[in-house]
Structure formats: structure tokens, C-alpha cells
Chain A
Amino acid sequence: MSLKGFHIVFITFSTLLALGCGVWAVWLNQVVGAPMYLLGAICSFLAAIGLVTYGVWFYRKMKRLRLIT
């Protein structure tokens, strides 16, 4: 596997981590009831959206530059 392939795998895992953190923070907010965790959940979901957007941008850029064939 090349660096670009491994990078896409890494971004996928990072996105899953961000989603997992978001779900974890939502659960914690329900149990503890602290708004800080809700804020954490929102930030995590935004990070997940950002990572997906970046991943798509990266794939397209690599394809455009013919670094992904």
C-alpha cells in the first residue's frame, strides 16, 4: 500500500474516532447532564464532517495530480 492509500485509511479511522467521541459525549451528557459534554459532542461531529470533507478533497486532488491512478 502506498502513502496515499494508507493516508485514506488513516483519515477513515480518524473519522470513526471523531464519530465515536461524539456518540460517547452525547451518552455522557445524558448520564451526567453537563453541557460541556454536549459541546464536546458538537465539536466531535464537526471534526468528523471536516475529516470526511478533507478525505474527499484529498482523493480528488491525488487523482487530479495522477498520484492516484
Chain B
Amino acid sequence: MIDHDAVPPAEDITRFYQPELARVIGKWQMTEMMVLLRLQPASGERLDHAPGQFLQISLPGYGEAPISFCSSPTQTDSFELCVQSVGNLSEALHDLRPGDFVGVRGPYGHGFPVEDMRGRDVLIVAGGIGIAPLRSLINYMADRRRDFGRVIIVYGARNPSERLFVEDVEAWDARDDFETWFTVDEPDETWTGMTGVVTVPLREVEIDPARTTAAVVGPPVMYRYVAMELLNKQMAEDDILFSLERRFKCGMGKCGHCQLNDLYVCQDGPVFRYTQLIGRTEAIEVWAPDEQKG
């Protein structure tokens, strides 16, 4: 029953919608379209996110958008977000300078189940900008290396100039205890590595399916081809983790924008076990080029 006597203060009522301030302490242009922002909550309090979780970043007047953390929670003094230039807000975020403030609220959602992954082999499959949330997990595993078995990283980019986090990638490659497979679909004269989409090296990777958890993030086209390769390797559907992108508005399972059949991606995801997506028709995106038919 509604309590007619208890109307809380205004800031408590809107607390879900109201961002905290965070200061930009670093900014790097990674590619033409991608900027990396390093941020620090103005309150000095840690956000304490898990790899795979996201937050809502906003600039008053430009609005708000969900972005996955791309730094590891083991990096405690600050956090990082990778912003792709796609609209008014993200373009304004690209214009930020160190010292500027942004609004943040979160973290939200279920990230990668790192506790369940302890002791297991982890197969990372990253396509394009999908490397951003996976970098959070990879660097987490790098800092907690003994908690995990094999760490296998398969990362595909469209072309060499669109590869993100090149320094991290080189560091992962240099480690004896990480197995790395890098590929580009459209090589140029500088590229000496593998050629093809991410499924090409993935097919070569030998795993022990019973011991392996796969973490997959990439463009929509990628998921089903990767799923097919992983299932061909006899992996259990429950051990395949997909992180899905939706347009979260509220982050608390209310606004309806991220609904995937009966699930709210912002609450139940964005990281899902493949098992959860089976039979949910809206998990795999479809569209008709002929709009009139819709």
C-alpha cells in the first residue's frame, strides 16, 4: 500500500536519474572515430564496477548514453570509457578536455561472471569495438592471472588502422601466459599478421571445451558465426557469454528501450549466457531492407 505520509526529498526521488560528476583526467584519440576518456569521480568514491558492466555518461544539454567500462576494476584510482563518435552527445564528448566534468551514473547490469570463471580457461573473442568491454576483462585477468587457466585472446578488426588499444594488445602479445590471435579483414601493406574475420583464427584455436568459458563481444553480424564455431568445438551453450548492445535509457529495467523479449538487457545483461538467448527471438537482430514490408 502506498504510504501517503512519506514523500521523500526531491533529490532522493530523482536519485536514479541524477548523475554524479566525474572529471576528465586523460583523453586519447585512438582512431579516427574512437576516443578513450580517463575519468575520476569528483566525490573521490570508487564506482566499483565489474568487467562487462556499463554506466550512463551525460553532458547536460546533450543527453545521456550507456557506455561499457573498458578499464579493469583493478585500476582503482580512475576508470576509462571508449567513446565512438556517432551523434551529438558523443561528438561533444570527443571535444572534452582534461579538467572538464561529465555526469555519470552506474555501474549497471550483469557483467562477466568472473567468480564463476575462476580456474577456467577463458577464450576472448573480440570483433571491432567489442574489444573495449573485453579489455576490462582481459586486464582484470592479467592482474589476477593465477585465478584463471589459459587465457586465449582472438581479436579481429576491419583493418589495421581501426585496431584499438594497440599498446595493450602488444602487452598481451608479449606475455608468455596469454595466447593471442590477431587478424584484420582488410589488410594493408603494413600488416604482417593474419587476414580474415575473427572466425578464421578462431577455427584454428584448440581448446578443452569442458574447461573453457568464451567471452564474446563484437558487431551484430559476428555473433552467430562465432556461436557456430564455438558450438562446433563442442563448447556447452552455458559456457558461451555474449554481451549485447541496446539503447539503455534508465538502466533499471523500467524505460523499456532495451527489452529483449521478456528480458531487460540493462538488468539481466548486458552479458548473457548463450543458453539465455536460445528461443528468444529478439536476441538475433533481423531486418528487411524493404522498409515498406515492415
Q: Do A and B come from one complex?
A: no
